[in-house]
Chains A and B, each alone.
Chain A
Amino acid sequence: MTPQEKTLLHVTRRHFYSQCFVGLGGIALGGLMGGRGFGAAAGPDLRDPLVPRAPHFAPKVKRVVYLFMAGAPSQFETWLWRPELRKLDGQPTPDSFLDGKRFAFMERFTKERPKLLGPQRDFRQHGQSGTWVSEVFPHMASIVDDLALVHTLRTENFNHAPAKLVFNTGSTRFGRPSMGSWITYGLGSESRNLPAFVVLRSGEQNLMGGVNIWGSGFLPTTFQGVEFLRSADPIPNLSSPPGYSTGRQSDRVNAIRELNLARLAEVGDPEISTRIASYELAHRMQTSGPELMDLSTESQATLDLYGAVPGESNFANNCLVARRLLERGTRFVQLYHTGWDHHGNRVNNLAEKLDEVSLAVDRASAALVTDLKQRGLLDDTLVIWGGEFGRTPMGEIQELPGRNHHVENFPIWFAGGGIKAGQTIGGVDELGFFITKDPIEVHDVQATILHLLGLDHTKLTFRHQGRDFRLTDVGGRVIEKLLA
Chain B
Amino acid sequence: MRSLLAALAVASLVAVPAQAAPGPPFSPEAIRFFESEVRPTLHTRCAQCHNDELRTSGLSVASRQSLLEGGNRGAAVSLERPAESLILSALRHASGLKMPADGRLSDRKVAAIERWIELGAPWPEVTASATAGRVARHWSFEPVARPETPPVANTDWVRNPLDRFVISRLEEAGLEPSPEAPGATLAKRAHLDLTGLPPSPEDVRDFLADTDPGAYERMVDRLLDSPRYGERWGRHWLDIARYADSNGYNNDAPRKIWMYRDWIIDALNRDLPFDQFVIEQLAGDLLPGASRQQVVATGFHRNTLLNLEGGIDFEQYRVEAVVDRVDVTGIAFLGLTLGCARCHDHKYDPISQREFYQFFAFFNSIDELSGDFNDQEGRARAYEPLLEFGSDEQYLRRDAIKAQLKAMREEQDRYEEDLLLKQPEWEAGLTEEDLAKLPLGVQRILGKPPEERVAGRLVFVKNAFLSQDPGVQERRKAIAAVNKLLPEIPSTLVMRELPEARPTHIFLQGDFLRKGDQVEAGTPDVLPPLEADDPNRLALARWIVDRRNPLTPRVAVNRIWQRYFGQGIVATENDFGTQGDPPSHPLLLDWLASEFMARDWSLKSLHRLIVTSATYRQSSAFRADLASADSSNLLLGRQNRLRVESEIVRDVALSASGMLESEIGGPSVFPAQPPGVMIRRPWPESKGRNRYRRGLYTHFWRTSPHPGLMVFDSPDSLTLATRRNRSNTPLQALTLLNDTGFHEFAQGLARRVLRERPDSGIAERADHAFRVCLAREPSAGELRALERLAATQLDEFSTHPEQADEILSAEIHDGLDRAQAAAWTTVAGVLMNLDEFITRE
Contacts and interface: CB of A to CB of B under 8 A. Distances in A.
A32 to B, nearest CB: 14
B428 interface: no
A272 interface: yes
Contact of A231 (B572, B675, B702): B675
A346 B457 CA distance: 11
A465 B734 contact: no
A465 B729 contact: no
B488 to A, nearest CB: 24
A207 B249 contact: no
A20 B454 contact: no
B627 A401 contact: no
Given A27-B632, A206-B703, A260 B572 contact: no
Contacts of A18: 624, 627-628, 631
Contacts of B731: 226, 235-237, 282
**A248, A285, A344, most chain B CB atoms within 10 A:** A248
B369 to A, nearest CB: 14
B478 interface: no
A233 B677 CA distance: 10
Contacts of B312: 104-105, 159
Interface in A256-291: 256, 258-260, 262-263, 266-269, 271-272, 274-276, 278-279, 281-283, 285-286
B804 A231 contact: no
B622 A15 contact: yes
Given A26-B632, A267-B622, A395-B456, A262 B781 contact: yes
Nearest to B734: A237
B299 to A, nearest CB: 22
A423 interface: no
Contact of A343 (B310, B726, B830): B310
Contacts of B835: 260, 263, 271-272, 275-276
A208 interface: yes
A252 B826 contact: yes
Contact of A474 (B48, B705, B728): B48
A275 B580 CA distance: 31
A231 B579 CA distance: 45
Interface in A360-395: 395
Interface stretch (B142-150, B207-215, B520-528, B713-721): B713-721
B643 A271 contact: yes
B676 A231 contact: yes
Interface stretch (B84-92, B186-194, B279-287, B737-745): B737-745
A20 B703 CA distance: 36
Contacts of B627: 15, 18-20
B566 A401 contact: no
A274 B730 contact: no
B737 A285 contact: no
A399 B463 contact: yes
A253 B567 CA distance: 32
B439 interface: yes
A229 B641 contact: no
Nearest to A174: B718
A184 interface: no
**B444, B571, B716, most chain A CB atoms within 10 A:** B716
A477 B48 CA distance: 11
A234 B677 CA distance: 9
A3 interface: no
A230 interface: yes
Interface string B88-102: 000000000000001
B21 interface: no
B566 A26 contact: yes
Contacts of A120: 454, 456-457
B781 to A, nearest CB: 6
A484 interface: no
Interface in A189-206: 195, 201, 204-206
Nearest to B677: A229
A57 interface: no
Contacts of A256: 830, 833-834
A352 B454 CA distance: 13
By size class, the interface of chain A is: 35 or more
Nearest to A160: B250
A481 interface: no
Contacts of B839: 271
Contacts of B579: 465-467
**B579, B622, B624, most chain A CB atoms within 10 A:** B622
Contacts of A283: 733
B460 A27 contact: no
B632 A205 contact: no
A2 B573 CA distance: 44
Interface in B404-459: 439-442, 444-445, 454-457, 459
A100 interface: no
Nearest to A30: B632
Contacts of B48: 474-475
**B680, B681, B729, most chain A CB atoms within 10 A:** B729
Contact of A206 (B631, B679, B743): B679
A23 B631 CA distance: 11
B727 A259 contact: no
A130 interface: no
B15 to A, nearest CB: 16
B569 interface: no
Given A241-B740, A269-B641, A468-B44, A220 B727 contact: yes
B597 interface: no
B709 to A, nearest CB: 11
Nearest to B701: A210
Interface in A1-40: 15, 18-27, 30
Nearest to A265: B781
A243 B841 contact: no
Contacts of A258: 785
Given A27-B571, A241-B743, A22 B728 contact: no
A260 to B, nearest CB: 5
B779 interface: yes
Contacts of A26: 566-567, 632, 726
B174 interface: no
B716 A104 contact: no
Contacts of A401: 454, 456-457
Contacts of B51: 474
Given A232-B675, A252-B829, A20 B102 contact: no
A255 B830 contact: yes
B726 to A, nearest CB: 7
Contacts of B834: 256, 259-260, 263
A325 interface: no
Interface string B518-550: 000000000000000000000000000000000
A327 interface: no
B308 to A, nearest CB: 12
A22 B621 CA distance: 12
B65 interface: no
Interface in A330-379: 343-346, 349, 351-353, 355-356
B675 A233 contact: yes
A466 B574 CA distance: 13
14 contacts: A18-B628, A24-B728, A117-B456, A174-B718, A205-B680, A211-B716, A237-B674, A255-B785, A269-B622, A271-B641, A275-B835, A278-B729, A399-B460, A474-B44
Given A242-B743, A267-B641, 17 more contacts: A19-B631, A24-B728, A25-B726, A206-B251, A211-B710, A229-B674, A233-B674, A236-B711, A237-B734, A243-B822, A252-B737, A260-B835, A262-B785, A271-B835, A344-B456, A356-B440, A474-B43
Interface of B: 40, 43-45, 47-48, 51, 102, 249-252, 309-313, 374, 439-442, 444-445, 454-457, 459-460, 462-463, 513, 566-567, 571-572, 575, 579-580, 620-622, 624, 627-628, 631-633, 640-643, 674-677, 679-681, 702-705, 707, 710-711, 713, 716, 718-719, 725-735, 737-740, 743, 779, 781-782, 785-786, 789, 792-793, 796, 803-808, 822, 826, 829-830, 833-836, 839, 841
